[in-house]
Chains A and B, each alone.
Chain A
Amino acid sequence: MNSNKNKRQSSKALTRTEARTLEAIAERIFPKTDTPGAVEAGALDYINLALAGDYAKLLPLYRRGLRAVDRHARRKLGAKFMHLDAEQKDVILADFEAGEVSDFKAAPEFFKTVRYHVFEGVFCEPQYGGNKDMMGWRLVNFPGQQFGYPDPYINERVDLPPIAVDYEAAEED
């Protein structure tokens, strides 16, 4: 069904410029610290694939939203979003979250959508293009698509290496 068709078949939905702005946003939503952030985890690949597939209807919102982010950044802080420092970027994103962007009514919807999609990109099943090397799962200590758990792990860290299922090899009946 559609999950398999959605695999990395298509060209990327976003232009290079759009992708770079989105990358800068994603990195503020789930930043690299002493551990990997959204970009390293592959959130951009996830979103690009999704916008070329199941989320194609949302591409216009992304286009308008990304333009509005740069416009708002220039107007308020005098530079394109990607050239701002981390603190300034957060100010711009907070305006979007709160709906305080005068010429873009859909700002909260755009922010909410991007926030969900970034987290999907960090924590998805790797088949969808994000969560590279199960990096997102390792960060929160989730062992992935385990067949099951023979032990209840009550107040015990689960020490199993994470597993991602190979969909092609998944059993047929």
Chain B
Amino acid sequence: MAQSIADVCIVGVGCTGGILAKELSSSGLKVVGFERGPAPKKSDYAPRDSIRFLVRTEQLEWVRHEPTTTRKKAGEAARLQYRTSPLNVLGGALLHWTGQVSRYLPGDFKLYTNEILSGNAERAGADLTGYDIIDWPLSYDDLEPYYERFEWEFGVSGHAGTNPFAGPRKRGYPLPPLRHSARMELFAEACKQLGYHPYDTPAGILSQPYRPPPPFDTRIRERPACVYCGHCNFYGCHVHAKAATLYTTIPVAVETGNFDLRTNCKVFRVNSDSVGRVTGVSYFDPDGQVREQRARVVILCAFMFEHVRLLLLSKTDTGRFAKGLANTSGYVGRNILAHGDVRAMGLFGAFIINGFIGPGSAAMRIDDFNGNNFDHAGLGFIRGGTIGTSGDGTPVTRIDVLPPGVRSWGQEFKEYYTRYYTRTMDLNMQPETLPHKANRVDLDPRHRDRWGLPLPRVTFDFHQNEHRLQKFMAGVGEKIMSATGADKVWTEGKGRPNRWAGGTRMGADPKSSIVNEHCQTHDVPNLFIVGSSVFPTMSGYPPTATIAALSYRTAEYILSQKQWFA
């Protein structure tokens, strides 16, 4: 193929890549998008198959070629781990996500100011040894208009004004909340009794058929409403009610004629020149041949593990980028983040829950214990988490939801499960994790992927603030579950890492961060990184709405740099 110079190269066409592709190609820029996975067909997930998507996930073509290795701390050997996020498929993890789309709280962007400078951490008696907390270089108000665009282009179902802790918003949600399930009713009632403030989780799932109205992007096609099938989290939606770039922004980008989408193409290096600008990418084409694509601007839109890996693989032999591209600070791979969800479960003798009816994001939620919404004096930790109902699942996925003391097999198990499968309910607490110096991603020295590239090695553990917070959150969950009238209540108080962020963090100081508020690398003006990897701190909420908002905002910034494309 002739070597033409693209205006923009997008690496990874999932959530952020799908949004940026539409925004940039619609303004006339020539965009090339590289996706290392295939384009899925509707028939791949139409059967609502729990064995395929939840039990044998390691066998999924979208999972098995791109594991990471993982360990708890430096010095340990890292073991292979197959993960469903990232999902290596066109459209990325938005294909199979739950759809919780809360905007971050205004305070979530200013942890250094609000927790440390304010004296809050000291009043709490928190031990912040080992943590590395900074403010985001932007605020909730900076992101507000872009949250709104995401909500109205993808169609979010919710009830504005019902969460007293939420930041101000100029416009409500485009759609009313999803239908209430048994667990939502029980949770809401219990929370009201306890004086908390339950509200409908904003969901990236359509409660009614939807197409964006003006002034939003009316080229996005209409999609039908959720049918509540319950095969939702980890499945592709068989009616396309789930907010996914695959059937919203990506088709619009393709229709512009300016978006050259290359699936099954794996970028393995971002190339740079002697003056420290990036010149394009090198990639394996679907036949495994090495190819190059030149570009004026490169945007990394993959999962956070991959961002770190690519920057480290793109190091130069000498000069500024000998430690990795855009890594003069040495911060690439550092301060990675993940929620440590804890759960509370309840069994009901006299109430049928039918938890298999979906979707998971049809949930009630409280933020009374999120962020800095409660008094931390003397608690020994800072921050919090959101709490909501969860617990959908087919029978094959729920066999480990067992109260303590019930045998996990045999007649006792059979009697328990046949009685209680339809009569259990879960609460999910999503405690925030603080950026810790020991948590990082680097290149695995031993394990390689099928292209011969070192795998990303994840070193991650929870530390003292997380341990205290997770224990506290499990206690709150237990209290709420008891108030629902459940006959038996138990908790799983030990968090498992989930929903990753960090690794190429955003900050005002180029000496301790990788990108600025426009997701532009401090070191390389024509290299951008968009995704949860830029989060310097997380929130009690999942990252997706904020990732999407950053994508719209970054696109606007790139489009304002007209001289780059003249």
Smallest CB–CB gap between A156 and chain B, Å?
A: 6
Interface residue ranges of A1-56 to B (CB < 8 Å): 1-3, 28-31, 33, 35, 37, 54
Q: Is the CB of B229 within 8 A of A152?
A: no
Interface residue ranges of A137-173 to B (CB < 8 Å): 137, 139-143, 145-150, 152-158, 165, 167, 170-173
CA distance A1 to B394 in the complex (A): 22
- A172's closest neighbor in chain B, by CB? B43
Interface residue ranges of A95-152 to B (CB < 8 Å): 97, 115-116, 119-120, 123-125, 127-128, 136-137, 139-143, 145-150, 152
B399 contacts chain A at the CB level, 8 A cutoff: yes
Stretch at the interface among B66-74, B199-207, B412-420, B534-542: B412-420
Q: Is the CB of B42 within 8 A of A115?
A: no
| Contact with B42, one of A30, A142, A149, A171 (Cβ below 8 angstroms) | A171
| Contact with B49, one of A29, A125, A140, A153 (Cβ below 8 angstroms) | A125
* Chain A residues within 8 Å of B411, by CB: 31, 33
Q: Is the CB of A140 within 8 A of B422?
A: yes
How many of A's residues come within 8 Å of B, CB to CB?
49
CA distance A141 to B226 in the complex (A): 23
* Chain B residues within 8 Å of A142, by CB: 356, 394-395, 421-422
Interface residue ranges of A44-85 to B (CB < 8 Å): 54
Stretch at the interface among B99-107, B180-188, B275-283, B285-293: B180-188
Stretch at the interface among B55-63, B137-145, B147-155, B251-259: B55-63
Smallest CB–CB gap between A41 and chain B, Å?
A: 11
| Contact with A115, one of B41, B227, B396, B409 (Cβ below 8 angstroms) | B409
Q: Is the CB of A123 within 8 A of B394?
A: yes
Smallest CB–CB gap between A54 and chain B, Å?
A: 5
Q: Is the CB of A156 within 8 A of B352?
A: yes
* Chain A residues within 8 Å of B294, by CB: none
CA distance A153 to B396 in the complex (A): 21
Interface residue ranges of B380-427 to A (CB < 8 Å): 394-396, 399, 408-411, 413-415, 417-418, 421-422
| Contact with B44, one of A1, A140, A155 (Cβ below 8 angstroms) | A1
Dominant secondary structure of chain A at its interface with chain B: loop
Q: Is the CB of B181 within 8 A of A152?
A: yes
Smallest CB–CB gap between B339 and chain A, Å?
A: 25
- B231's closest neighbor in chain A, by CB? A145
Given contacts A2-B59, A125-B49, A173-B43, contact A119 B229 (CB under 8 A): no
Interface residue ranges of B179-197 to A (CB < 8 Å): 179-182, 185
* Chain A residues within 8 Å of B43, by CB: 170-173
| Contact with A154, one of B44, B181, B227 (Cβ below 8 angstroms) | B181
Q: Is the CB of B414 within 8 A of A30?
A: yes
B82 contacts chain A at the CB level, 8 A cutoff: no
Given contacts A123-B396, A154-B181, A172-B43, contact A148 B59 (CB under 8 A): no
CA distance A60 to B399 in the complex (A): 25
- A170's closest neighbor in chain B, by CB? B46
* Chain B residues within 8 Å of A146, by CB: 229-230
Q: Is the CB of A149 within 8 A of B47?
A: no
Q: Is the CB of B408 within 8 A of A148?
A: no
Dominant secondary structure of chain B at its interface with chain A: loop
CA distance A93 to B415 in the complex (A): 19
B351 contacts chain A at the CB level, 8 A cutoff: yes
- A25's closest neighbor in chain B, by CB? B409
Given contacts A123-B394, A142-B421, contact A148 B414 (CB under 8 A): no
Q: Is the CB of B396 within 8 A of A90?
A: no
Smallest CB–CB gap between A53 and chain B, Å?
A: 9
CA distance A147 to B422 in the complex (A): 19
Q: Is the CB of A141 within 8 A of B48?
A: no
| Contact with A127, one of B49, B56, B410, B418 (Cβ below 8 angstroms) | B49
Q: Is the CB of A153 within 8 A of B51?
A: no
- Interface mask (B221-261 → A, CB under 8 Å = 1, otherwise 0): 00000111111000000110000000000000000000000
* Chain B residues within 8 Å of A155, by CB: 182, 351-352
Which of A3, A139, A156 has the most chain B CB atoms inside 10 A of its CB?
A: A3
CA distance A127 to B442 in the complex (A): 41
B529 contacts chain A at the CB level, 8 A cutoff: no
Q: Is the CB of A125 within 8 A of B47?
A: yes
| Contact with A153, one of B56, B59, B357 (Cβ below 8 angstroms) | B357
- A140's closest neighbor in chain B, by CB? B421
CA distance A128 to B394 in the complex (A): 15
Q: Is the CB of B46 within 8 A of A171?
A: yes
* Chain B residues within 8 Å of A28, by CB: 409-410
CA distance A149 to B228 in the complex (A): 6
Q: Is the CB of B354 within 8 A of A125?
A: no
B52 contacts chain A at the CB level, 8 A cutoff: yes
* Chain B residues within 8 Å of A140, by CB: 395, 417-418, 421-422
Q: Is the CB of A125 within 8 A of B51?
A: yes
Q: Is the CB of A147 within 8 A of B352?
A: no
Smallest CB–CB gap between A129 and chain B, Å?
A: 10
| Contact with B41, one of A97, A143, A154, A173 (Cβ below 8 angstroms) | A173
B50 contacts chain A at the CB level, 8 A cutoff: yes
CA distance A54 to B56 in the complex (A): 8
The 10 closest A-B pairs by CB, nearest first: A148-B227, A140-B421, A173-B42, A123-B396, A123-B395, A154-B182, A170-B46, A165-B47, A29-B409, A3-B52
Chain A residues with CB under 8 Å of chain B are 1-3, 28-31, 33, 35, 37, 54, 90, 93, 97, 115-116, 119-120, 123-125, 127-128, 136-137, 139-143, 145-150, 152-158, 165, 167, 170-173
With A3-B52, A123-B399 known, 13 other A-B pairs at CB within 8 A are: A1-B52, A1-B60, A3-B51, A30-B410, A33-B414, A115-B409, A142-B422, A146-B229, A148-B239, A155-B352, A158-B422, A165-B47, A171-B42
Show 5 residue pairs from A and B whose CB-CB distance is below 8 angstroms, ordered by the A residue: A30-B414, A125-B49, A137-B395, A140-B418, A152-B181
Chain B residues with CB under 8 Å of chain A are 41-44, 46-52, 55-56, 59-61, 179-182, 185, 226-231, 238-239, 351-352, 354, 356-357, 394-396, 399, 408-411, 413-415, 417-418, 421-422
